[in-house]
Copies of this chain bind each other. A is one copy, B any other.
Amino acid sequence: MIQVGVNGYGTIGKRVADAVAAQPDMVLRGVAKRSPNHEAESAVKREYDLYAADPDRTDEFEAVGLPPAGTLSDLLADVDVVVDCCPAGVGAQNRDIYDAHDVRVVFQGGEDATVADASFTARTAFETARDADAVRVVSCNSTGLARLLAPVAESFGVETARVTLIRRGGDPAQTDRGPINDIVPDPVGLPSHHGPDVNTVLPGVDVDTAALKAPVTAMHTHSVNVTLETTPTADEVRRLLADESRLFLIPEGAGIDGAGALKEYAMDLGRPRGDLWENCLWGESVHVSGRDLYLFQNVHQEADVVPENVDAIRAMATDTAAAESMATTDQALGVGL
């Protein structure tokens, strides 16, 4: 059994913790957190051992009736792999303490690529994690793009992909994020950094991205164009994509018209937190004209990287093959719609 800890128990951390706890070959030894807020309370209700990430704030946890099982160091002493889910940039600051405890670490996409030995997405870069002490799961948007472009590149060849990313302004509980009534080019300079980030896990595929920030909280939306090297039919593309375990082809006629309905669908199926671990592609939008493929997809920013984190752990800590790891992960979580 792989002993795993999670440091940073927020949007991503709590989902990774649940996913690890659900794996047949992993044990969640505990989660570390800085502040004893409602998320700390719910960790305890889930019977996760709660550790104080900041040893100086242990008493704050005690004050609200959530006495920690120890500090981050205590947790690190017990694990093979730690998953760092701290806010963007904090992971890099944590690198020293992980090295000091000689644990392997999985970072998140808010960190610079240089934080780790390799960047990771299970579909495209599983093997890069083999000998790594630290890997970085790429961001939600990059994960979503790599999953889509990899099979397209393999089957039809990609001359150039051009993607407009309409990013959610903030997560649902982030009340200090905007915009309120605006679409903001962000960054305004083109192409955006997202394309190069995709290339850290999918090298050799030419992808230009343009990114904007929108007043929505539920999902990112991607408007995708790919100039292919061949001329498949739209149906061939649909069939290819439908075969990918972490892609969900939204059926026509089901009345799913946006992120709200997608989340509703996930919740109706009993998904925890309404999580959509899969890219959600509108089947109806898939169109090929000459060598130009067009489609819309949505990415649930809070969820799509979660199975990737699980696979990253397995890639680093075992010699399980990629396909087997992904199958195990998906089976344990219920990935696949």
Interface residues of A (CB under 8 A from B): 14, 35, 37-39, 41-42, 45, 64, 160, 162, 164, 166, 169-186, 188-191, 208, 210, 212-219, 221, 223, 225, 251, 253-261, 263-265, 267-270, 272-274, 282, 284-287, 289, 292, 294-296
Is the CB–CB distance between B221 and A188 below 8 Å?
A: no
Is the CB–CB distance between B175 and A177 below 8 Å?
A: no
Tell me how far the C-beta of A48 lies from the nearest C-beta in chain B, rounded to whole angstroms.
11
Q: Which of B178, B254, B257 contacts A41 (CB 8 A)?
A: B254
Contact A216 B180, CB 8 Å, known A45-B269, A210-B223: yes
What are 5 of the A-B contact pairs (CB < 8 Å)?
A180-B215, A183-B214, A186-B257, A188-B284, A190-B294
Q: Which of B169, B186, B257, B296 contacts A190 (CB 8 A)?
A: B296
Is the CB–CB distance between B258 and A183 below 8 Å?
A: yes
Is the CB–CB distance between B258 and A210 below 8 Å?
A: no
Most chain B CB within 10 A, of A178, A208, A273, is at: A178
Is the CB–CB distance between B184 and A38 below 8 Å?
A: no
Tell me how far the C-beta of A277 lies from the nearest C-beta in chain B, rounded to whole angstroms.
15
Is the CB–CB distance between A39 and B221 below 8 Å?
A: no
Contact A272 B270, CB 8 Å, known A38-B254, A175-B260, A178-B170: yes
- For the complex, give the distance between the alpha carbons of A24 and B261 in Å: 31
Q: Which residues of B contact A212 (CB under 8 A)?
A: 166, 221, 223, 296
Q: Which of B38, B183, B186, B286 contacts A166 (CB 8 A)?
A: B183
Q: Which residues of B contact A214 (CB under 8 A)?
A: 166, 183, 214-216
Most chain B CB within 10 A, of A37, A260, A265, is at: A260
Is the CB–CB distance between A259 and B189 below 8 Å?
A: no
Tell me how far the C-beta of A87 lies from the nearest C-beta in chain B, rounded to whole angstroms.
14
Q: Which residues of B contact A14 (CB under 8 A)?
A: 268
Q: Which residues of B contact A258 (CB under 8 A)?
A: 173, 175, 179, 182-185
Q: Which residues of B contact A173 (CB under 8 A)?
A: 258, 260-261, 263-264
Q: Which residues of B contact A160 (CB under 8 A)?
A: 292
Is the CB–CB distance between A38 and B256 below 8 Å?
A: yes
- For the complex, give the distance between the alpha carbons of A41 and B49 in Å: 38
Is the CB–CB distance between B287 and A172 below 8 Å?
A: no
Q: Which residues of B contact A284 (CB under 8 A)?
A: 188-189
Q: Which residues of B contact A164 (CB under 8 A)?
A: 164, 223
Q: Which residues of B contact A189 (CB under 8 A)?
A: 284-285, 287
Q: Which residues of B contact A210 (CB under 8 A)?
A: 223, 225, 285, 294, 296
- For the complex, give the distance between the alpha carbons of A208 and B225 in Å: 10
Q: Which of B169, B186, B261 contacts A178 (CB 8 A)?
A: B169
Q: Which residues of B contact A274 (CB under 8 A)?
A: 267, 273-274
- For the complex, give the distance between the alpha carbons of A165 and B268 in Å: 28
Is the CB–CB distance between A172 and B181 below 8 Å?
A: yes
Is the CB–CB distance between B181 and A178 below 8 Å?
A: no
Other A-B contacts than A177-B178, A181-B260, A183-B214, 10 sampled, CB-CB below 8 A, are A38-B251, A38-B255, A38-B264, A162-B292, A166-B166, A175-B261, A181-B215, A185-B221, A190-B296, A208-B292
